[in-house]
């Protein structure tokens, strides 16, 4: 049955199906690629694609792979990612990815099919109320009832997803609506009542911030993902150069400030550097720029930054102000706009003695690990990857120890180079997000760093790399254990290890080769260097499995319930 059939109504105006209208609207919004998986309730939409050969769709092997790929595309390009799935299980398989994007403020438009309106509420085959299910983890969502509403809804959805504090928007389309005919009329942007993308910055608040900077002797900046999302890296660099304030970048803020800068202290928090955490605990002024004071940064909140006389918070979302940490100076607005005003009037802090102090922190306790000539250490692998890529690759990670080693040992040169699940910590995210990042950035090197646990959650997406010849370089740090869980059980549960043994996992080299991907295994430094060089020289996708010791831990570490100055340094500082 064809859905592309056009007809003229009595007024002689062209009528299209809801499916055709949807595809036209997506193209009008500049959609470059849709990641999806078909099923009964979206068959009219997929049928409409047949007559649109220029409409690019990537068939993933799981709906979760589709949404993580759309997420990786969005994070790495700054554009809006789009994915699609059918009703019921197809839609619910997207929920984890929607929540992942929501927690990290990633702009997505998620399209789901649903059962025909006539059988809604009857427990029809593959029926799920996906609008209600996703309401807590979407910025907005729509249930379409008339094909004629699609131009307005799609226009609104893209605007809402990509403005203000960005986030996912869901459009649920019943099967009969996607087949329904209507006159296609491009829509003007009509937004839901009360929607405000971003308030204009208050000059008085920024002036109070600048006054506090001028009075401060021990200031510090926490730069977060908001700097990256608002394209404000240049403005942040100018702000720091004018004010001479040391900078620490949150996990999602990595790349938002150059890692080679003399005032960069590294990442703060749970696995933050000694310099970053110690500086926060001794600062007299803390300035959060596009960071939300999450628990992995602050740790025990009533012991966070105890010497700070004032805490300033620059954020696009008023709801974040004072939510976790008291705020003395609130500058609400788009970070790029706030910093632009601040830079025009910036004053230098009295920080030179403080800068010398924090530089001593870096010298006293740099990131270190106990190297080995008989074992292949994961930190060595990440240092090697950084050295061979010059810090210019897009690096995607899964969640676990390898994720923190990437944050510590890979030095990012520019924004949107780290793609990782921060707030939600979604295992299985790393590899499919690399697929989306590579499609969105065909001329850049994309490296996907995974543990042996997370790699198995979406390994089926290797088929996409093979079919489309995507030159993603896949890294598996295989320690045959759930490393981060093991580390917490070791340090917090008296080594009472429970359900962490991943021995018996597949041979990742053979698994990759089964998909037609070139693969190698390395267990020594020499093997690692040769295998990685071969992967980089491979024109298409390549996988390297690095066999690393299961007893290696991530240090420094701040345990839950303790303060930032109570770091466990471990082997990281042993000579």
* Residues carrying an active site annotation: 63, 125-126, 175, 484
CA distance 182 to 20: 10
Close Cβ partners of 273 (under 8 Å, ≥ 6 residues apart): 248, 265, 266, 267, 362, 365, 367, 408, 556
CA distance 103 to 195: 20
CA distance 404 to 278: 19
Q: Which run of H or of E encompasses 162?
A: helix 150-162
- Determine how many CB atoms are found less than 10 A away from the CB of residue 505: 15
CA distance 547 to 398: 17
| CA torsion angle 141 93 459 476 (round to 10) | 60
CA distance 230 to 66: 25
Q: 381 is written with which tokens?
A: 């692998």
- In angstroms, the Cα distances linking 152 to 34, 138, 561 are 20, 18, 48
CA angle 400, 273, 235 (to 5 degrees): 100
- In angstroms, the Cα distances linking 369 to 125, 250, 401, 496 are 55, 22, 14, 25
Q: What are phi and psi of 373, to 5 degrees?
A: -95, -5
Nearest to 167 by CA among 113, 112, 114, 226: 226
Nearest to 82 by CA among 106, 114, 50, 51: 106
Q: Which residue has the tokens 């990509």?
A: 162
CB 114 within 8 A of CB 130: yes
Q: Which residue has the tokens 């009595």?
A: 10
CA distance 335 to 314: 7
Q: What are phi and psi of 331, to 5 degrees?
A: -115, 100
């Amino acid at each position: 049955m064809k859905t592309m059939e056009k007809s003229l109504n009595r007024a002689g105006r062209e009528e299209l199906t809801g499916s055709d209208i949807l595809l036209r609207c997506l193209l009008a919004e500049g959609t470059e690629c849709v990641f999806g998986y078909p099923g009964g309730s979206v068959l009219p939409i997929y049928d409409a694609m047949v007559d649109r050969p220029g409409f690019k769709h990537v068939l993933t092997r799981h709906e979760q792979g589709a949404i993580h790929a759309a997420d990786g595309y969005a994070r790495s390009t700054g554009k809006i990612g789009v994915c699609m799935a059918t009703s019921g299980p197809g839609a619910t398989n997207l929920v984890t990815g929607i929540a992942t994007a929501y927690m990290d403020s990633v702009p997505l438009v998620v399209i789901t099919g649903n059962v025909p309106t006539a059988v809604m509420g009857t427990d029809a085959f593959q029926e799920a109320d996906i609008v209600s299910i996703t309401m807590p983890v979407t910025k907005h969502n729509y249930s379409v009832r008339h094909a004629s509403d699609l131009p307005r809804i799609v226009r609104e959805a893209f605007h809402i997803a990509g403005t203000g504090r960005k986030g996912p928007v869901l459009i649920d389309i019943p099967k009969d609506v996607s087949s329904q005919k209507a006159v296609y009329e491009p829509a003007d942007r009509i937004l839901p009542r009360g929607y405000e993308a971003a308030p204009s910055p208050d000059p008085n608040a920024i002036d109070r911030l600048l006054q506090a900077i001028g009075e401060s002797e021990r200031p510090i900046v926490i730069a977060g993902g908001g700097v990256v999302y608002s394209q404000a890296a240049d403005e942040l660099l100018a702000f720091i150069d004018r004010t001479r304030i040391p900078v620490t970048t949150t996990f999602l803020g990595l790349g938002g400030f150059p890692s080679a800068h003399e005032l960069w202290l590294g990442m703060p928090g749970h696995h933050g550097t000694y310099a970053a955490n110690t500086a926060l605990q001794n600062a007299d002024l803390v300035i959060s720029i596009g960071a939300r004071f999450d628990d992995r940064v602050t740790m025990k909140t009533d012991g966070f930054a105890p010497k700070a006389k004032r805490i300033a918070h620059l954020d696009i979302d008023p709801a974040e102000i004072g939510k976790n940490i008291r705020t003395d100076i609130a500058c609400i607005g788009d970070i790029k706009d706030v910093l632009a005003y601040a830079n025009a009037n910036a004053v230098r802090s009295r920080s030179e003695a403080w800068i010398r102090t924090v530089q001593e922190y870096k010298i006293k306790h740099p990131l270190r690990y106990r190297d080995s000539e008989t074992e292949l250490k994961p930190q060595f692998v990440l240092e090697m990857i950084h050295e061979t890529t010059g810090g210019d690759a897009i690096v995607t990670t899964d969640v676990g120890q390898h994720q923190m080693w990437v944050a510590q040992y890979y030095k990012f040169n520019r924004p949107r180079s780290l793609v990782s699940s921060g707030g939600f910590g979604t295992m299985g995210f790393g590899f499919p997000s690399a697929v989306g990042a590579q499609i969105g950035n065909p001329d850049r090197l994309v490296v996907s760093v995974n543990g042996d646990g997370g790699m198995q959650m979406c390994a089926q997406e290797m088929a996409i790399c093979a079919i489309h010849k995507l030159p993603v370089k896949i890294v598996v740090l295989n320690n045959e254990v759930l490393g981060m869980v093991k580390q917490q059980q070791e340090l917090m549960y008296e080594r009472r290890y429970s359900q962490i043994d991943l021995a018996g996992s597949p041979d990742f080299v053979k698994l990759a080769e089964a998909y037609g991907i070139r693969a190698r295994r390395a267990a020594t430094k020499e093997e690692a260097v040769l295998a990685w060089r071969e992967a980089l020289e491979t024109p298409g996708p390549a996988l390297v499995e690095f066999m690393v010791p299961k007893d290696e831990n991530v240090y420094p570490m701040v345990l839950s319930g303790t303060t930032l100055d109570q770091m466990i340094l471990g082997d990281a500082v042993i000579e």
